[in-house]
Structure 1
């Protein structure tokens, strides 16, 4: 929107935010927030284009403008967020090979009032169902098995007992159902395995229900894009198997059990995942 300087004083209203995203200034107006800040290179020319508006009313257009252009507020941390931060600061350590080891952020009410029930039968039922569904797709079945076998080859999972861990009537193990996500257009991983920590156990609670979610650690995408104007080149990268470079503490690995077998003719195996596979858990703070 191009506004003449003679109109500018008439549209500004109280409200000024500095250091938005590190380099922007936000001034409130009757149309919403106006962002201003430095650019990477000098702008010598610019062009404008006038397009006939749609039949939407001015009120609807302004409402959508405010919703889309609202400056994000600073994130607020809850008591649960603080608990997760302290947990990882106090318990995270690095192995000799440089990889981090983290604990799962269990709620303080676990296992007293938020307890898990048995989960192996449901995980086995779902695994057999998925196995039957991909039997007719030989290539997918082979690829799916290879992906899981790679976990064993890379020592990202190891065999465990088929009996669930029960102490004082409480379950201290959990079986993660899993399924394949197919992306034929992907240049790197066309088939990946997704583990479902939201599957309910016999108690009516899932593993997600007994874990803290933790704060969002990713930078705001809109602010990242806004900062692109400050640089001539922008690079985008992908770290292969990034989450699998982080180990879960040995005493928590039994909460990441899965079932699989290399072929339908072989018996089902019980294994536990040694790396981080729960998207909701907080990652350690990198130094």
Structure 2
């Protein structure tokens, strides 16, 4: 014990603080977040292989081999274990980063909950109709409800109509574009009865025309799904969908796999 060690090693008697006995139990555990308290400030050494005293702001501590009086050398070990999920996850992520590119990850490992929902909707609703495909909207939730949006869309329409009154060319191109969309089936003209039906999923999309300076004769219609009505836009109700583009780290790693790298733009 400590008394016998002090009898054997005289340098252990140079401090007034009593040393703990062998069977002493720790009263508190201090971690590295309080390193200033446990940092060694002073050291008292004795002969070779003798215990060493170190002083910190918490007092004196003894380190080293504790040889018994019969000169038999015993090693004392202290092991402290605890479960800390956050630290475990950080170390795990570090190992995964080090192995990045060595082992392929399946799509199920990297898809978020929203991406999985979007994929499920696409798989369940996408179908071929005639010579084209149709798919359902990627709703964020099954019970999403839109606030009233008719008045805001009507105000935007009146603004466009005023522009058309001043610009007959714009009026003609706008009308031709709407007719073209109807003929191609992109939009459908509703009857008065159909237009009067309003549900929780009804949203009136404002639209406007855009002209490319390099192609002034061509008008492109933009349906403004980002326009907000009572703080909610049409886009707010939809998922962005899964990202099938190759990530930049993946592209860079693939450039290093073979002797030659080929790039192309489709």
State the TM-score, normalized to the length of structure 2.
0.49
Bigger share in helix: 2
Bigger share in strand: 1
Task: Give the structure, 1 or 2, with the largest relative contact order (CA under 8 Å, sep 6 or more).
Answer: 1
State the TM-score, normalized to the length of structure 1.
0.46
Flag the structure with larger Rg.
Answer: 2
